[in-house]
Chain A
């Protein structure tokens, strides 16, 4: 019966192929959306690791998360250098990474930080940053470049770079061509780290005229001892304000208590967020779009299946002779019924196979383009349980829909019998 269904479909291959194509394209969309959803979620969760608290000026948690980790949007509120010193001195704080943002290089954000960034920042599964070429900035005139930025701007170690003030920068509107030199290029991480440039806080202070190098001031400090400067409470701070501070704690359970302490800090209003919690909150707001996208693709799949239903129903009229022959050689109405169901399953399975092949094809061939144009990184890993469930759901839906033409063929087979008026 299955072979007969295939042969019969082959006889009507033009309409059969179109049906398969409709199912394939719609299923591809559904599987693609599902994969995009889970992998984007994973990518999001992988952007930051090991950081227990992110602290910024009084603002929303999503905004703080987006600007500090994803370099999306600007932080209007800042925290003072004094508050940063306070944060560092809090009990249980193992390390801290100050971040000052607002400037850019040809659209890519510039993050001013300290050497601790390269030492303590983790992404993915506790992976540290490493250098593909060169090393971290050694003075206020050097700059580290993220992997993607290096590719896009064609930067190599030793190249000069001009930093421009981003719009919304605190009070500097004039362009500055204080030159930086690339000292190192980071390994690709697949996170927003690739999309930014990194300078020392002193570098930012110098550009903004907030900081006068110690060597110029007193003449007895070398360029290469920034950390020394940071730790020196009496020295002039390299910058007056910071955008955010990443904190690593000695033990994770401390995070909740510390968060409360920071949020109620009296000297300056601050917001502390736990990255994992904030990511989840953010993802929850994204779910509206994700569900809309998913619903649309489900509807598209239903459209594809209804297309198949229409094709099968329309074919029945032309196939009454075929049915009569099958009846004559002893096929019962039940066999005619199962013939139609098998046909629907063959069409749907072929469509699904094509859809899965298409999914891997798109990811394999177009994955780089997706990454470049939309920043979506998809990987061609095997089908997940959720994807198998979707495939099974499509098959079950096709099975149920095929009952309509199958039932009709059953009725026709009973009524027509062997006499078909053509």
Chain B
């Protein structure tokens, strides 16, 4: 099994800040793994995700995503890598309100030629694949044509998941995707997400502050355990 994400001695400090937000000596996630990253709010989880997604660059250290050293790539190459190989799900308000559900899903291919190509190899157009994926995630054909605001929060998150999954990117990052959902919807959502990730062999990095979700995952990483900054802060 090859590595999906590898961090070595990664440190990150916001411009102008005095202290590091992140100091991660070592972290490795294998391809195909479904990992829960748990930590309290405001501890730097989102910052770590933005490093992995290639939005920001580590101040120090080595960060590899899918064998690509992000620190060696320029902004455009990192944006391209994210478009092609990373599906990202926010906590909520994942969708552009002025597009239909199916158009929101198809948006995933807007900047991602590799995703479009993979769909082509399966003989699917972007719109066909988007509709098929939404159907699998339980949205009716009529619901797929609705605008994002007209959908329930649970439906919106499934549309967001579909967008992240479309064209089988290697890595799905979900940043607290269930925090706006109730218990029943939450479990259903996680289940469907697992299913689809497994079906297309995408690695899943699921971030939450909610410890009760741990039971769904084979591997759970406590954020405070990998981030040295937290421990130092306690000593001071």
- Show the binding face of A for B, using Cβ within 8 Å: 1, 4, 7-8, 10-11, 321-322, 324-325, 327-335, 417-419, 422
Contact = CB atoms under 8 A, between A and B. Distances in A.
Which 9 A-B residue pairs are closest in the complex by CB-CB distance? A330-B83, A11-B98, A417-B55, A332-B79, A330-B111, A328-B88, A417-B50, A419-B46, A330-B82
Given A417-B50, A418-B88, A327 B95 contact: no
B22 to A, nearest CB: 14
Given A325-B94, A330-B112, A333-B75, 14 more contacts: A1-B110, A7-B99, A321-B93, A322-B96, A327-B55, A329-B88, A330-B110, A331-B79, A332-B111, A417-B50, A418-B50, A418-B53, A418-B90, A419-B46
B192 to A, nearest CB: 20
A325 B95 contact: yes
B11 interface: no
Contact of A418 (B46, B93, B111, B112): B46
A298 B61 CA distance: 56
B4 interface: no
Contacts of A321: 93
Nearest to B149: A11
B55 A329 contact: no
The majority secondary structure among interface residues of chain A is helix
B37 to A, nearest CB: 15
B161 interface: no
A329 B49 contact: no
A321 B95 CA distance: 9
Interface of B: 46-47, 49-50, 53, 55-56, 75-76, 79-80, 82-84, 88, 90, 93-99, 107-108, 110-112, 163, 175
Max chain A Cβ within 10 angstroms of own Cβ: one of B96, B99, B107, B163: B96
Given A4-B110, A328-B88, A418 B79 contact: no
A417 B48 CA distance: 12
B104 to A, nearest CB: 9
Contacts of A328: 53, 82, 88, 90
B79 A11 contact: no
16 contacts: A10-B98, A324-B90, A325-B90, A328-B53, A328-B90, A329-B83, A329-B88, A329-B108, A329-B163, A330-B112, A332-B76, A332-B79, A332-B80, A418-B46, A418-B55, A418-B90
A11 to B, nearest CB: 3
A335 B111 contact: yes
Nearest to A321: B93
Contacts of B90: 324-325, 328, 418
B70 to A, nearest CB: 14
Nearest to B56: A417
B188 to A, nearest CB: 23
A334 B76 contact: yes
Contacts of B79: 330-332
Max chain B Cβ within 10 angstroms of own Cβ: one of A8, A11, A322, A418: A418
A8 B98 contact: yes
Nearest to B93: A321
A419 B88 CA distance: 12
A234 B221 CA distance: 125
B81 to A, nearest CB: 8
Contacts of A422: 93
Contacts of A333: 75
A418 B53 CA distance: 9
Contacts of B107: 329
Contact of A7 (B53, B93, B98): B98
B27 to A, nearest CB: 19
Contacts of A327: 55
B99 A419 contact: no
Nearest to A9: B98
A7 B147 CA distance: 12
A412 to B, nearest CB: 13
Contacts of A419: 46-47, 50
Contacts of A334: 76
Contacts of B98: 7-8, 10-11
Nearest to B163: A329
Contact of B75 (A10, A322, A332): A332
B100 to A, nearest CB: 10
A182 B80 CA distance: 85
A346 to B, nearest CB: 14
Contacts of B47: 419
Nearest to B53: A418
